[in-house]
Amino acid sequence: MSFLIAVLLIIIALWLVAILFLRGEDLDQYDRDDDSGACKSFAGKNGPSGEHGKCVASIREFGKQARRMSKQERLGSIRRFMEEMPEGREFAGDFVPVDAGGVPAEWVLAPRADPSKRVLYIHGGAFMAGSHRSHRNITNRFSEMTGAAVLAIDYRLMPENRREDGIADCRTAYRWILENGPDGAGPPTHLVVSGDSAGGNLALSLVAWARDEGLRAADAVVAFSPSVDGVYSSPSIRSNVSSDIMLGPLFGPLLKIPQAIRAWLYLLEFRFNPANPVVSPVLGDLSNLPPTLIQVSEAEMLLDDTRRYVRKARASGSPAVAQSWPHMLHVWQIFYPEVPEAEQAFQEVQLFLQGLE
């Protein structure tokens, strides 16, 4: 009997710790649409393009195959799928390997790119997949539209490495790009930090860290469908599970686990409190941050995470805006140039950056 009581007390203690220390602040107030300038929706008259529909079919087929694989086989398959995305494409720009202070990377240089204008790009892939190569569709387009040199980094991936190793690599690359360009040593005249999904998480965490370190701030931040809340508390995390073709099958099953248990699992897997702003940027101080643009699909689980981040940033005095497209895949920008909505998204990024000059 005493053993059962002891077990019960331990369970209650663990539950209380999760509730009191692993949840972070209540963000419900940022679900209200009180700021008309915070979020803009781009709804097409005719719905998603046919080209986007082909991408959806491809992702669905890949998902069917992946469900029959072991966890290890699935990870290998996802990594191969992402690495093969740029195959067969012709790029006008050059891809130049570089050691960014110990972090493997490449400079992406469109014709006539200005080496003093720089973009630090952090790829997505759930912290477990992706590379500078897998995201060349995005990085090459970034260099073309901005006339900047893009530094695409290969931060260390899980599960071979710890989550904190990837964070450390991003910080190292940030310090390095402040002092080095594709033509040698020298500071940037203009700096943008960008990333998608997991890379968007790292980008938003990075600029807050740079502020706290007193480093030269980025002139702008652009994030595509970033993950910003490890607590997974926003409404769309649940409401968009079925409509999120990419993330729903991967992360939907986690929502069946009680929140307190999920918090402990997060802590054990990543060795971070899920409420720590280093891994959950929306739960940190969002004041004095660079102008920020976040693009997200209205069909994905991370929709309300984006809205919460932007509304909180604006309430904290930081210029930020969210742009959303209905029915799109998670990080549909990577399907440029085939998908028209991807080009539309990049045009909005270009307008945003031009408006800051």
Fold topology of 33-354: Rossmann fold (3.40.50)
**pLDDT value of position 265:** 76
Quote the pTM value.
Answer: 0.93
**pLDDT value of position 255:** 84
Active-site residue among 197, 233, 297, 324? 197
**pLDDT value of position 12:** 54
What is the band of 7 on the pLDDT scale with cuts at 50, 70, 90? very low
Tell me if residue 83 is catalytic: no
Whole-angstrom Cα distance, residue 191 to residue 70? 42
Which range is least confidently modeled, 10-14, 169-173, 241-245, 352-356? 10-14
For residues 91 and 14, the model is more confident at: 91
Neighbours of 172 (CB within 10 A): 16
What is the band of 284 on the pLDDT scale with cuts at 50, 70, 90? very high
DSSP state of 216: P
Active-site residue among 300, 318, 324, 327? 300
Neighbours of 96 (CB within 10 A): 12
Number of residues assigned to the chain = 357
Looking at residues 74-97, what average pLDDT do you find? 92
Q: Supply φ then ψ for residue 237, to 5 degrees.
A: -55, -35
Which range is least confidently modeled, 80-89, 93-102, 107-116, 165-174? 80-89
Looking at residues 15-24, what average pLDDT do you find? 54
What is the band of 45 on the pLDDT scale with cuts at 50, 70, 90? low
Q: Is the pLDDT of residue 260 over 50?
A: yes
What is the band of 36 on the pLDDT scale with cuts at 50, 70, 90? confident
Q: Is the pLDDT of residue 315 over 60?
A: yes
Looking at residues 164-170, what average pLDDT do you find? 98
Residue type present at position 333: Q
What percent of the chain stands above pLDDT 70? 93
Three-class SS of residue 73?
helix
Q: Supply φ then ψ for residue 297, to 5 degrees.
A: -90, 140
Closest CA to 225 of 333, 352, 356, 76: 333
**pLDDT value of position 19:** 53
Residues 54-66 have pLDDT tens digits of 999 999 998 888 8
Tell me if residue 197 is catalytic: yes
Q: Is the pLDDT of residue 80 over 60?
A: yes
- Where are the chain's structural domains? 33-354
**pLDDT value of position 66:** 82
| Helix locations, 228-258, DSSP H | 236-239, 248-251
**pLDDT value of position 4:** 56
Residues 171-199 have pLDDT tens digits of 999 999 999 999 999 999 999 999 999 99
Neighbours of 291 (CB within 10 A): 19
Q: Is the pLDDT of residue 152 over 50?
A: yes
Looking at residues 340-349, what average pLDDT do you find? 96
Closest CA to 200 of 274, 106, 287, 126: 126
Tell me if residue 84 is catalytic: no
Q: Is the pLDDT of residue 240 over 50?
A: yes
**pLDDT value of position 263:** 73
The label of the residue with tokens 């370190």 reads 213
**pLDDT value of position 1:** 57
Looking at residues 326-351, what average pLDDT do you find? 95
Whole-angstrom Cα distance, residue 199 to residue 126? 8
